[in-house]
Structure 1
Amino acid sequence: MREVFQQEMREVQERLVEIAGLVADSIEKATKAFNESDVTLAEEVIAEDPKIDAATVELDELAITILARQQPVARDLRIVVSALRISASLERMGDLATHIAQLARYRFPDKVVPKALRPTFAEMGRLDVEIARKLADLLQDTSNVKLAEEIHDEDDKVDALHLEVFDKVLGETWKGETVDTVDATLASRYHERFADHAVLIAKKVLYLATGDWVPESV
């Protein structure tokens, strides 16, 4: 029975890594669609989101089965419960990537934001993709504290860019139309929240690796 239990625990981790990889692919395609006004790529992201949703549901069912049948305790219990929470955050990250792709689709053939903000969003997108890739690596190697710290540092950069977008759209020199203001505000928020969820996951992994918990702030 113990061997079966350990196999199920490995499967939980493998599925988390798989979902994180799907999310990383999704945000990479979504940011490219957003920045390049690629409606075909945007549609691809939207069409693939149900795959992420289905994968998280399957993981949750596995975790619940383990809780009911194996009745884990101590660290094993924390791992299974954390997997359920991480799964929820990954599912939300997939949704946020889809929201970014939807903005690209809605505004096609135009670009979503005015020219003045495009470099800012290109950098936010680059950081989100990098964060997502590092998160998948962290879930594969949960003892890599350095990766968790890098995710946190890059989230700080996304937060700074998020504030920069708000400063621009609320500034006196802003020439965008109302729709531009709304799109820029929403897109910036989606990018910022995507990174925030990655940080929450990194904190949970760090806790499992070290026993040290950092209070959640988002």
Structure 2
Amino acid sequence: MSRHLLASFAALALLSGCGGADEGTNVVTLVETDNGAEFVVPANDTVTENAVAGNSAETAAPALNLAPDGLSLVASGGSARHATFGMARDVVVPMVIAALGKPTDTGRNEECGQGPLDFADFKGGLSLSFQDGKFVGWDLDGRDKGPYATAAGIGIGSTLKQMRDVTAVTVEESTLGTEFAAGGLGGLLSADAPDGKVEHLWAGSICQFR
């Protein structure tokens, strides 16, 4: 199943974690991706050029947490920035590059029900979706076994019981498989059972065929 062919609209307050981020406009550096695309880093992004490029041995990259309304990036000192849905792509992508390195792929899905969506893929199966230049969703494909999780520890491999320990979860069989909604987060389970494991996780608006 393609990581770009899943969608949901999500908001899970119990699993969200951090404050907002400013959208600066002054450019301090350019980051070139593997396929030649370039993204600008706003002046108010508190990362060094080496950290943005993912090449600094001395500067610790911020940790990335999944959230129902976007992504949180937590620095080693404990400060956090939140990339929320609706923020500009040119702000969000450099923030994620600071934590994960360059995108492994970028492109566009033309046949999404909500209209064309652009995407940026990162290591570990994480894909970000953008529409009209705005961040609108993320998708975590469990086949790449990425280490990402929410602030409450929900990620690939979490069990249905573990999710129900922290929030209400509904499960139904859909054309996608055993699909769950956890207060707004969406995803797929290996089984509708307490020990059924999360195999796919998403939030926001992403491309899907049902």
- Tell me which interval the TM-score lies in, with the shorter structure as reference length: under 0.3
TM-score of the aligned structures, taking structure 2 as reference length: 0.24
Q: Which has the larger radius of gyration?
A: 1
**Larger fraction in strand:** 2
Give me the TM-score of the superposition, normalised by structure 1. 0.23
